[in-house]
Amino acid sequence: MPEWQGKSRGNKLGYRIFVAVCKSIGLKPAYLLLRVVATHYFLFSRKTSRHIYEYFTRRHGYGKLKAIGSLYTNYYRFGQTLLDKIVIMSGIESNFTYHFDGEENLVEIVSRNKGGILLSGHVGNWEVAGHFLKRLKITTHVVMYDGEHQQIKDYLNEVTGGRKFNVIVIREDMSHIYAISEALQKNELICMHADRFIDKSKTTLFPFLGEPALFPIGPFILASSFNVPVSVVFGFKERSNHYHFFGSKPILREESESKREFTDRLVKEFANEMEDKLMLYPEQWFNYYNFWAR
């Protein structure tokens, strides 16, 4: 089973240091400081480094030297995405530019007046596209595990003075299902990551980057059960100040399609979309465990 336990790395002291640097002298100096942090993880985080090194060699066919260089870049890119999120959410002055392929697809979902589900993964930096969702003039909810929620809640409350988006926490009593249902009935959007799961979660096996991998079946079953439009969305950093976002055409359940068939099609669409994007942005893969373990 994958080793991810529903919690993300990071600590408030680190956030405070980088926020102070960004506010006082700017984002580029913070990127320079980030080089030190990335080097630390590159040299001493052997467990995660092994998994990412194998990702580059086994999934992309990199040679040893290229894989080592890409490993360092991966840590640096991950740190940049965290910094970028903090800068944008806290309102720190920045000069980010964006290009969005498929914004019209999200507009179409909203126009259907049924709500919608946006599926993404732990690749790139989709969260910084939040301001684009504001342009749709619709409420957006982010569904996440409690371990991730607490960290994000802590630093957003301290850095931004309050959360900038609505969070629906996944709970054992399944209360999050009712919260999702209520939001969809109001024609609101639900954002979910569909590439990670924790122990005892239901999964499905699907080919991904050359070998079958387990995906959590829950997000896809939810989309099928509520019978609402679905879009696969990703955002990738292309330059220090530029992001490229992608939103797929609405995926709709056909009248002749059973719930199981639609669920299976959603898994296929999601896995294929994420695979295609990782061929373009291989160094922005941020699952630091053996994703293909079974």
Task: Determine the pLDDT at residue 165.
Answer: 62
CA distance 267 to 28: 39
Give me the percent of the chain exceeding a pLDDT of 90. 57
**Which two tokens mark 82?**
């965290």
CB of 37 within 8 A of CB of 9? no
Task: Determine the pLDDT at residue 291.
Answer: 94
Average confidence (pLDDT) over 246-266: 94
DSSP 119-132: EE-SBTTGGGGHHH
Q: What is the pLDDT of residues 78-114, one digit of tens each?
A: 999 988 887 877 777 778 888 889 989 999 999 999 9
Q: Does residue 162 register a pLDDT over 70?
A: no
Amino acid of residue 255:
E
Residue linked to tokens 């179409």: 108
Smallest CA-to-CA distance from 122 within 99, 103, 145 is with 145
Q: Does residue 9 register a pLDDT over 60?
A: no
Q: How confident is the model at residue 18 (pLDDT cuts 50, 70, 90)?
A: confident
Helix runs in the chain, H state only: 12-25, 27-44, 46-54, 64-90, 103-111, 130-135, 146-159, 175-185, 218-226, 259-280
Q: Does residue 156 register a pLDDT over 50?
A: yes
Residues contacting residue 44 through CB under 8 Å, at least 6 positions apart: none
Q: Does residue 3 register a pLDDT over 50?
A: no
Mean pLDDT over each residue of the chain, to the nearest integer: 86
Task: Determine the pLDDT at residue 151.
Answer: 58
The predicted model scores a pTM of 0.89
Smallest CA-to-CA distance from 84 within 289, 284, 287 is with 284
